[in-house]
Amino acid sequence: MTSRLATSLCGVSLKNPVLAASGTFAYGVELGDLVDLSALGGIVVKGLSREPMDGNPPPRVWETEAGMINSIGLQNIGVRAFVAEKLPQLRGAGTAIFANVFGYAVEDYVEVVRVLEDAEGIAAYELNVSCPNTKHGGIFFSSDPALLAEVISAVRKIVRRPLIVKLSPNVARIEPLAKAAEEAGADALSLVNTFVALAIDPRSRKPRLGAGFGGLSGPAIKPIAVRMVYEAARSVKIPVVGLGGISNGLDAAEFLIAGASAVEVGTANFWDPSAPVRIARELDDFLQQEGIEHINKLVGTLKL
């Protein structure tokens, strides 16, 4: 790969604009024997909570015709164990590390970030706001601009690192949420998260997943994700990171043309852990073929 791909996101230098998405690449260190981590644009680690979480009952994953539905339930070792056990190994990975953070109340997010702020080796945060706010009757942070602004503002007050907010696609319009995130202090947005979905076993007449509903990801959602990235990028001045069904370099190019400054690769990692490296290489080949001197020249060039 060449310098054509070198870029930055919220002041974080990236060798290339292709990151491994949260929840699809474990904590990164587990895949070090399979993938050259230093060749990645960055790693967004598995979502971190205040306390360890066991996740949802199995089965947790169901393969669909053009993707997968997962109901992992945000299983993780908790932020303190991550800092003590995983982060020391990640510091030598040679790539940017983004900590994905989630919670069920504003103070959950604040506490997780407070712990991470004292740790070295993290480039930026990605707030997963696709969780229900249990203190407000289960209303999702991601669907209410006021709740979204509340959690971002609270975290913004205590962080020195860049703050990326990961938006959910399960809303009527993405623009009000994107604007609310920007106004509350987000340095960038990432979208889309998974679509709420349901798979049924016709013989048992029961859900395929132990928790019932799950999140649809993979190639099936890409055209909708590209559209939502375009809408979000048009409505804000901060950078947008695009994800949703990216399997090859041309997929990544679509998101960049739609307005994304970088992309994340998720579901493809399940069948090919080296997918982000391959996709970056394919993206570089595309730039060369098209005579585009730098990746930034591609961003936001959609002709509508």
Q: Is the backbone peptide bond immediately before 176 cis, with ω within 30 degrees of 0?
A: no
Regarding predicted confidence, which is higher, 130 or 45? 45
**Confidence tier at 136 by pLDDT (50, 70, 90):** confident
What's the whole-number mean pLDDT along residues 100-114?
A: 97
Q: What is the pLDDT, as a whole number, of residue 135? A: 81
Whether the pLDDT of residue 187 is over 80: the answer is: yes
The reported pTM is 0.97
Q: Cα angle vertex 34, ends 29, 35, to 5°?
A: 75
Asked about 10 being catalytic, the answer comes back as: no
Whether the pLDDT of residue 139 is over 90: the answer is: no
Please report, for residues 77, 227, 253, 254, 301, the alpha-carbon distance to residue 290 in angstroms, rounded to integers and kept in the order given. Answer: 44, 23, 11, 14, 13
pLDDT tens for residues 256-266? 999 999 999 99
Please report, for residues 41, 107, 135, the alpha-carbon distance to residue 83 in angstroms, rounded to integers and kept in the order given. Answer: 21, 19, 28
Please report which residue ranges of 157-267 form alpha helices under DSSP H: 175-184, 222-235, 249-258
**Assigned domain for 163 exists:** yes
* Buried b or exposed e, range 102-131, using 16+ CB within 10 angstroms: bbbbbebbbbbbebbeebebbbbbbbbbbb
Q: What is the pLDDT, as a whole number, of residue 290? A: 97
Read off φ and ψ for residue 297, nearest 5 degrees.
-70, -15
**Assigned domain for 64 exists:** no
* Domain boundaries, position 46: 3-56+71-195+215-297
Strand partners, 53: 76
Alpha-carbon gap, residue 155 to 110, rounded angstroms = 5
**Confidence tier at 76 by pLDDT (50, 70, 90):** very high
**Assigned domain for 66 exists:** no
Alpha-carbon gap, residue 26 to 119, rounded angstroms = 19
Q: What is the pLDDT, as a whole number, of residue 122? A: 98
**Assigned domain for 110 exists:** yes
Percent above pLDDT 70 for the chain: 100
Q: What is the pLDDT, as a whole number, of residue 47? A: 97
Please report, for residues 214, 229, 274, the alpha-carbon distance to residue 259 in angstroms, rounded to integers and kept in the order given. Answer: 28, 7, 25
**Which residues are CB-neighbours of 39 under 8 A, at least 6 positions away?**
1, 15, 95, 277, 280
Options 37, 74, 116, 131, the catalytic residue: 131
pLDDT tens for residues 43-70? 999 999 999 999 999 999 999 999 999 9
Q: What is the pLDDT, as a whole number, of residue 132? A: 84
Q: What is the pLDDT, as a whole number, of residue 183? A: 98
**Confidence tier at 134 by pLDDT (50, 70, 90):** confident
**Confidence tier at 137 by pLDDT (50, 70, 90):** confident
Please state the domain count of the chain. 1
Q: What's the half-sphere exposure (Cβ side, CA atoms, 13 Å) at 67?
A: 22
**Assigned domain for 280 exists:** yes
Q: What is the pLDDT, as a whole number, of residue 194? A: 96
**Assigned domain for 208 exists:** no
**Assigned domain for 61 exists:** no
Q: E strands of 225-299, at which residues?
A: 240-243, 262-265
Q: Is the backbone peptide bond immediately before 192 cis, with ω within 30 degrees of 0?
A: yes
Residue 138: how many other CB atoms lie within 10 Å: 10
Q: How far apart are the first and last CA of the chain?
A: 31
According to the 3-state scheme, what is the secondary structure of 64-80? ECCEEEECCCCCECCHH
Q: What is the pLDDT, as a whole number, of residue 180? A: 98
**Assigned domain for 65 exists:** no
What's the whole-number mean pLDDT along residues 145-153?
A: 96
The CATH number for 278's domain is: 3.20.20.70
